[in-house]
Amino acid sequence: MKFFVDTADTAEIKSLASSGLLDGVTTNPSLIAKSGKKFVNVIAEICEIVPGPVSAEVAATDFDGMMAEARVLRRIAKNVTIKVPLTVDGLRACKTLSDDGTAVNVTLCFSPAQALLAAKAGASFVSPFVGRLDDIGQDGMGLIAEIMEIYQNYSFRTEVLVASVRHTMHVIQAAKLGAHVATLPPDVLRALFNHPLTDKGLAAFLADWAKTGQSIV
């Protein structure tokens, strides 16, 4: 499974990228707004930090507007992935861009039918929002299972990018289902490292080592 981080905070991205575990970055208008920086500049800076896909979302809702914005975003860096909403115009833009060799992330997916359409439109990634479905009493991970089954039936090349991840179990469940990518808030990505028995075991090892009075260097 690939790990993307869902943030526009370049300091966080640099820190996580240094671990060697970061495969890409997703952003959205809300995350860009929190950064307080100019959109194009933020995306350019992220693309310099991370060589993998960096999702930059269009703000337009009509086809012509999306295509105009996509032309600007594509010029920022080779690893920019154009992010479009799962609407009629968004899928039309996806098809046009993907036919031209541009990577596209179709976002705001909430049903297997929508995911099927995204794959047929040639999306590089489709982003089902598991946490938001859980919030309204639906089964977010059940959606991932349905999408994976459909995609495997037809050998679609579209990668399932699990979004709106709220906790580490979302990551584990998605990995067990074979999802290709999970995009995680920085705190959830860091939480994957943690286990109380790891901390307890390390403390015991260090205490025993101190008793030896030795030094490796």
pLDDT of 205 reads: 97
Looking at residue 115, what is its pLDDT? 98
Question: pLDDT averaged over consecutive 10-residue blocks of the chain (217 residues)?
Answer: 97 95 95 92 97 97 98 97 98 98 98 98 98 98 98 96 98 98 97 95 96 95
- Torsion angle of C-alpha atoms 91, 49, 43, 140, degrees rounded to 10: 40
The whole-number pLDDT of residue 141 equals 98
Q: What angle do CA 121, 122, 127 make, to 5 degrees?
A: 90
Task: With CA atoms as reference, report the closest residue to 6 among 50, 70, 36.
Answer: 50
Between the alpha carbon of residue 86 and those of residues 56, 69, 106, 133, the distances in Å are: 15, 16, 6, 16
Domains of the chain: 2-212 (3.20.20.70)
Active site residues: 83
Q: How far is CA 192 from the centre of its chain?
A: 16
Tens of pLDDT along 135-165? Answer: 999 999 999 999 999 999 998 999 999 999 9
What's the pLDDT at 84?
A: 98
For position 143, what pLDDT does the model report? 98
Q: CB neighbours (10 Å) of residue 186? A: 16
Residue 164: predicted pLDDT = 98
